Amino acid sequence: MEFDNSLEFLKLLIKKKSITPEDDGCQDLIESFLKPLGFNRRVMNFNNVKNSIYSNTTSGKSICFLGHTDVVPPGEIKKWNTDPFDPQIKNDVLYGRGASDMKSSIVSFLFAVKEFVHEVPNHKLNLNVALTSDEEGVAEFGIRKVTEVLLNEKINFDYCIVGEPTSENKVGDMIKIGRRGSLSGNLTIIGKRGHVAYPNQAINPIHTSSKFINDIINCKWDKGNDDFPPTSFQISNVHAGDGANNVIPEEIKILFNFRYSPETTVIKLKEKVLEILERHQIEYKIDWSHSGEPFYTKKGKLTEIISRSIEKHTKIHTTLSTIGGTSDGRFFKDVSSEIVEFGVTNKTIHSINECVNIHDVTLLSKIYKEILIEINKQ
């Protein structure tokens, strides 16, 4: 099957309701695009999560584009100006769930590869595209599992580009050379249920937790470094009681998250939280969830090539950054010598009326192709 128009192909992908962890045929469609270009597909599905690696192998430098076909739920459909799974173009802007995160980057890379192999038929690159349908969710059976397989088989890539939407205002104004780690806590502070009129007969866990919360939100975890901001702590959810205004609840549940820099460790963060809890003599239960270590790519060949390619096509001197959430780069760092995230702008990701400027899709594809050309010259 021949696909000649990147925007039409992007529309086809957005029409697929690949709400995490569903793929809804995205990876099959991508196989039909890459197969005529000489790519073979390796399927690595785990627990009904779809994972694929498409390869056009040579003995030269290996580069892998890493992406995800799943999207977050659309939210309330009635709040959208258009159907989130029926992409529409208005004033050069394409609307639809996954338009910017990150089906546009996938399409831009696919068409960059197509032009590259046609223009440089005797290229020396080992080209790969790795995709999962489990990035936006728990990310347990996606690239995490794929990385385990690749490690076991001793497969490593020289370079990896993660197609996350890293740009802020214009394509190319920011790329990510690392990400902070993520540690979450599910804390239950235990009290004693009772009537609000008889507080001496109860223990109010809301009151008990207040000093703990004050201490932990004002704690300085580290100072960060030249490449990473300081570790941040945020409470994301608090729940107590059953809605009655005359009952002291038995417990309060607090969900929180650390986005931590390489200047600290999971062990240190856990120890500090427990020390604050013990200091206030709080009875508690806590469950931890560690979704990824920090990763960092030192300024090397890949950052140089990407920065130079961006400047050539946009006149922008890109910013190298580590801010933002997590990505599958936190897993793939173990099988790639250099890894950089670069994609379209992120202003509307995960939001109602998610969109992408159609000219940005074309521009990103030109930059991706330039990167392939430059790497092929090595």
Q: Please count the other Cβ atoms lying within 10 Å of the Cβ belonging to residue 3.
A: 17
Question: In one letter, which amino acid is 198?
Answer: Y
Q: Whose structure tokens read 């045929």?
A: 25
Residue 247 Ramachandran class (φ > 0 left, ψ -120 to 50 alpha, else beta): beta
- 70 given a catalytic annotation: yes
3-state SS, residue 374: helix
- Using CA atoms, how far apart are residues 129 and 7, in angstroms rounded to an integer? 19
Q: Please count the other Cβ atoms lying within 10 Å of the Cβ belonging to residue 90.
A: 10
- 86 given a catalytic annotation: no
- In this structure, what token pair is assigned to residue 268? 């240190």
* Secondary structure (DSSP) of 37-81: GT-EEEE--BTTB-EEEEEE--SS-EEEEEEE--B-----GGGSS
Options 101, 134, 135, 341, the catalytic residue: 135
Options 70, 164, 338, 341, the catalytic residue: 70
Q: What's the length of the chain?
A: 378
Residues with Cβ within 8 Å of 326's Cβ and at least 6 positions away in sequence, in order, are 179, 180, 181, 182, 291, 292
- Between the CA atoms of 196, 201, 203 and 206, what dihedral angle is there, to the nearest 10 degrees? 10
CA distances from 230 to 30, 37, 109, 223, 263 (A): 39, 45, 33, 5, 8
- Using CA atoms, how far apart are residues 184 and 228, in angstroms rounded to an integer? 19
- Using CA atoms, how far apart are residues 352 and 82, in angstroms rounded to an integer? 10
Q: What DSSP element (H or E) covers 364?
A: helix 358-376
- Using CA atoms, how far apart are residues 353 and 174, in angstroms rounded to an integer? 23
Catalytic (active-site) positions: 70, 135
